[in-house]
Amino acid sequence: MPNNKSRSVSTPHDQSYKLLFSQRVLVRDLLLGFVPEDWVQRLDFETLEKVGNEYISNELLKRSNDLVWRLKLNGEQWLYVYVMLEFQSSNDRWMALRLMTYIGLLYQDLVKAGQLTEYQKLPPVFPLVIHNGLAPWHSPMDIEELIEQVPGDLSSYSPSFRYFLLDESRQATDGPRQSNNFAADLIDLECCHSVDEVLKVVQRLQSKLLRAEHRPLADAFRVWLQAVLFKRLFSDEDIPKLDSFEEVTTVLAERVDQWRKDIERKAAEKSRIECRFETTLKIVLRLAELRFGPLSLAQRERFGALSETDLETATDLVLSATALEELFPRDKPRSS
């Protein structure tokens, strides 16, 4: 996966994923299928619309992996859905802070665009992070966990903000399998471990996408399959060009032998990476507690947010370190 250090640079993977989540039906299925909260049932999906540059500034729109949608809640109140597509292979400890900043920019833009009268309140926003990295997401989801705790009344001035996380590979393992949900189809394709699984999902998709109203979504899936899934399965010179979604099954049948070997190798590699990361994390946590005593939840999450390389370095340092802080790399400024 691209590591997202430069948020202004968009890759074919990013563009194809954004194209998918620019489809109303996919956003609808995402909310209905993967946000198990009561308010979702009170949404009017007939009003679902993507927010364009008439409402938000270029400063916000240039974040190429983010999308803003809105729809009516309880029949009359606008709810904005801020979707952040996160392709980093490692965690971003400051995600809650970044997302809170972007929501603030969205509010500011709505005021500047005249979307609110002088006496109206700001509309509610549902912040949604979609993560498809190999490592599980360990970063704090609430801004409170990133702010130093203070005594007494001073704590009442700390901001309150949290985001909703869809961690795709964990969702595919632990979450519902929904046969009539396009978002579930996408996540299943992202996380397939065998040729049989992929073919089953593609065939399921193909039968649903034959309807004329789903033609834009079929085209978006075609672009994503070619830019992302086929990129993983085939060498660059062997990636087939698709002119329609209907060609997908034919292409897979023609290359099934090669694909089976490649996908099994990649699945095994992914499993090794995740297993190695979790094992290294457990070792570091255990050694750190033996050396410095019980760790707080924030300290454990900080270790979980490290890259595998930084975890290995921490393992080497833990017995000689004089303070827990020595086990963490110095923070580097993150480009926005």
* 57 and 101, same domain (yes or no): yes
Q: Is 202 domain-assigned?
A: yes
d(CA 39, CA 73): 8
Alpha-carbon distance values, 96 to 10, 14, 34, 99, 136 (Å): 22, 21, 20, 5, 16
Q: What is the pTM of this model?
A: 0.68
Q: Is 211 domain-assigned?
A: yes
| DSSP-derived 3-state class of residue 315 | helix
Instruction: Encode pLDDT of 30-66 as tens digits.
Output: 999 999 999 999 999 999 999 876 656 666 656 656 8
Q: Is 124 domain-assigned?
A: yes
Which has the higher per-residue pLDDT, 85 or 42?
42
Would you tell me the crossing angle of helices 195-208 and 247-254 to the nearest 10 degrees? 160
* 106 and 241, same domain (yes or no): no
Q: Comparing 78-82, 178-182, 318-322, which segment has the lowest mean pLDDT?
A: 178-182
* 35 and 82, same domain (yes or no): yes
Pick the last residue of a domain from 254, 276, 292: 254
| DSSP-derived 3-state class of residue 100 | helix
| DSSP-derived 3-state class of residue 45 | strand
Instruction: Encode pLDDT of 14-32 as tens digits.
Output: 788 888 999 999 999 999 9
Q: Is 3 domain-assigned?
A: no
* 167 and 213, same domain (yes or no): no
Characterize the bridge pairing of strands 66-73 and 77-86.
Answer: antiparallel
Residue 168: predicted pLDDT:
80
* 245 and 306, same domain (yes or no): no
* 31 and 138, same domain (yes or no): yes
* 162 and 28, same domain (yes or no): yes
Q: Please measure the distance between the N-terminal and C-terminal CA atoms of the chain and give it in whole angstroms.
A: 18
Q: Is 333 domain-assigned?
A: no
Both tokens of residue 12? 């074919």
* 218 and 138, same domain (yes or no): no
* 93 and 17, same domain (yes or no): yes
- For 248, phi then psi, to 5°, come to -60, -50
Q: Is 6 domain-assigned?
A: no
Q: Is 215 domain-assigned?
A: yes
Both tokens of residue 199? 């073919």
d(CA 22, CA 199): 25
Both tokens of residue 60? 């916000």
* Residue found by looking up tokens 């209905």 in the block: 32
Phi-psi region of 315 (alpha: psi -120 to 50; beta: other; left: phi over 0): alpha
Q: Is 123 domain-assigned?
A: yes
Alpha-carbon distance values, 211 to 27, 32, 111 (Å): 18, 21, 40
* 21 and 139, same domain (yes or no): yes
Residue 7: predicted pLDDT:
43
* 77 and 160, same domain (yes or no): yes
| Residue 132 pLDDT exceeds 60 | yes
Residue ranges making up the domain that contains 112? 12-147+156-174
Question: How many structural domains is the chain composed of?
Answer: 3
* 227 and 270, same domain (yes or no): no
